[in-house]
Amino acid sequence: MTDFENQTAENGNIFHSCSDFPLKSKEDKNSSDPSFYALVPRTPNLAKLPDGTAEDQEPPVNTITRISELQEAFLSAFPFTFSTSGGYERLLANKTAFLLARNVVRLPRGIEPGNSFLQLLADQSALFYDYDIASRDNLLNKEWFQTSKKRVWDTDAAMTAFSKEWMKATGESAEKSGAVRAAEVLFDRINAERKNRSVFQWLYANKHLAGSKSREIKKLRIDLIQQHVKLRLRDIPQWVRQEKKINYTHILSDAKLARSYRQLLKECDGTTAAFARNPSFRSAFLNTVLLPCIHGVYERELIKSHPPQVCDPAAHDVAGMQRRLSQLESLFAAAGQCASRTAKAMDSDYFRWAVPYPEDLSHAASMSSDMVTPVALRIIAFLRSVGVASASSLHTEHLCGYIRWLFRTFAKEEIPIRIIVLLGIYKRRLLLNQFELADVDLRRRPYIPEAYFPGNIPKSEQRLALLQLIKDLCHTLCLSDPETADTLNKFLYLYGTQWQSSAEIRLWSEFAAQCGYERIPQMGIQLKAFQYGITCLPPCYHDLARRSVRAVPYETYLCFLRGNTDAILSLYQTVKSDMEAYARLYIELWTGRGISSRERYFLFSADLKADTGISVLFKKVDLDCFVLPDICRFENCPDQQNTNAIPIEMKNKRTNENRQELRLMICETMMRLHLRENALKALFKAVDKVHGLHLSAFTKTENFSRVVFLYKGTQEDHLEKG
């Protein structure tokens, strides 16, 4: 199974497991629980969220209100981020941009963050608008919606625009020449003649089109073929009307429009009627009166049919966020209780050996002599792993004597932690002649974490070896899950809760999957926090820059990503410095107001021509290093149209355009990976500071970029919405 193979669907949203450790938790058997690490946290100040669960059957308006309350409550911990009560929506348009721009690591003095950072970890789609497509577009175009909704047909404004166009074309005053009067009369009579038709339907009526075999229509057909729209010549006029392509004015016949104008103005005086024969008049009237009127009507109909939404409840998984937040809060409380309970149990009398040492350890009586040899073999394997020379038969005999004495003195579940302490304090002396075991004063407990074995082996590997020994001993002694968890909690008390390597995280993940996060909460809280953190910022590929009609479909691109993971990550490591220099500009293009995916593509194209901006990254994307989809390969290039009717030059041109689009998509993917990685580092650092965890440690490992990048199926549910 590959990284992030598991996924769970919640309320229509896809959320993903996120590590190399596809383990199942006992506390959540229906979801993937890749685990990670720990430290005793400070008790956070946990504010309550607005009520609401997945089972709530309330009207949508109440759901929207609840989401708004949740968003405002979340941002109340960051009063420096917005000045007006209605300004919070724009701050939540993009979660990555929020984490990078708001610098959540450095809170102003006196600000109490509450549980806002925990909400950021638990939130996958509840607080932000990353996947609320309609609402996000509304936020980016809010002013346009407000203006268009109030817009009515303004005859005076239209005639003013007509006058300026007339003056520009003829140098005459439109008022003095009577052109304005003629335009007003003509527009009124068009409205009277169209009856139940719209101005659009009147303008693009069959009698005003150039003809099915005109040069303009043939050119339009070629354009549509390139956009994968297959139409016959005689179908084009009807298609234009159905699609409301009101800017296809080149298929209109000016001569046929002139005929209609003359018919409408024939009863007017000679001066007014004469304007119908003036090409400048007809052009100015079309561009400043008819087309703006059609645009305004179309915008109002669009807003009426698809009113902007403040929030789409289906795109906000509030119940899922509250469930994950509740798990974090429970683990925080359990971690504090566990640390207090363990410290009380391991008091100053804990390591006072109540039973005297036998004079001859080699022959000490034992009630569990059958367990001595397996335990001794585990310990010898551990000693070899930390650089201690192989034990002789005499050394093994001394070691078995200590083990027999332990079995005689303590209960079976106490044996692993007693062995760990003996090894940590006395090291290889357990293999030598008998010596006196001194009582351990736990007031000097800091001595124990420093009692590592000497040599060149890093302390992180020695700590990992101790944990592996605990695992082996618990298995050998057939300890139950609660007994194993108790041993692990005592180990954390003695040796600290900050993990030292990614391999140790894997081991703690196994312990958490076996025993349950709640039984080792000091480590479980960090395992859960990291799991939620790495999945709280899923990648967004549904709005990558595109041409008018996307050449590389999103489904095809996601398959391309999964098949070229190593190549993309390798390239990513080589261009990090270039991405850092371009990051600020790209964030503005990604989250900028009114900048659509198509407009971003044109801006990128301009960068490529000017050799600026994204062109630095673009040049370093070598498609020969990737396994390409068919639409980006010159050989075996399928075509949805009749391939025999398309010249080879056009096929190659189309393939080159597809390859350019693919290279730009790869550049954007790496940019977003870079921004997500930086945003997660900022978030983990902030959580560590506020809640006393150690999530930032994992961001320094070599595979962090891979963990952030490897998601499966993140975008499938959002392709149609995008």
560-to-19, 308, 555, 631, 666 alpha-carbon distances in Å: 21, 34, 9, 12, 10
Mean pLDDT of 653-673: 91
Query: How many Å apart are CA 490 and CA 708, to the nearest integer?
Result: 33
Query: According to the 3-state scheme, what is the secondary structure of 178-216?
Result: CHHHHHHHHHHHHHHHCCCCCHHHHHCCHHHECCCCCHH
- CA trace torsion 307, 309, 310, 316 (10° rounding): 180
106-to-426, 685, 686 alpha-carbon distances in Å: 45, 10, 8
Residue 522 has pLDDT above 50, yes or no: yes
Contact 116, 73 (CB under 8 A): no
Q: What is the pLDDT of residue 701?
A: 79
316-to-71, 205, 610 alpha-carbon distances in Å: 11, 45, 41
Q: Which of 37-41, 71-75, 120-124 has the highest mean pLDDT?
A: 120-124
- Per-residue burial over 510-519, b if 16 or more Cβ lie within 10 Å, else e, is ebbbbbbbbb
Residue 487 has pLDDT above 90, yes or no: yes
pLDDT band of 514, cuts 50, 70, 90: very high
pLDDT band of 194, cuts 50, 70, 90: confident
Q: Which amino acid is at 71?
A: Q
Per-chain mean pLDDT for the chain: 76
Rg (CA), the chain: 36
Mean pLDDT of 608-636: 89
Q: Which amino acid is at 306?
A: H
pLDDT band of 38, cuts 50, 70, 90: very low
Angle between helices 565-574 and 576-591 (to 10 degrees): 100
Query: How many Å apart are CA 722 and CA 719, to the nearest integer?
Result: 5
234-to-87, 134, 255 alpha-carbon distances in Å: 51, 36, 20
Residue 31, classed as helix, strand or coil, is strand
Q: Which amino acid is at 359?
A: E
90's tokens: 């724009």
DSSP state of 312: -
Contact 292, 243 (CB under 8 A): no
Residue 579: half-sphere exposure toward Cβ, Cα within 13 Å: 21
% of the chain with per-residue pLDDT over 90 = 24
Q: What is the pLDDT of residue 76?
A: 79
Q: How far apart are the first and last CA of the chain?
A: 30
pTM attached to this predicted model: 0.67
Q: What is the pLDDT of residue 120?
A: 92
Residue 653, classed as helix, strand or coil, is helix
Residue 443, classed as helix, strand or coil, is helix
DSSP state of 290: I
DSSP state of 499: -
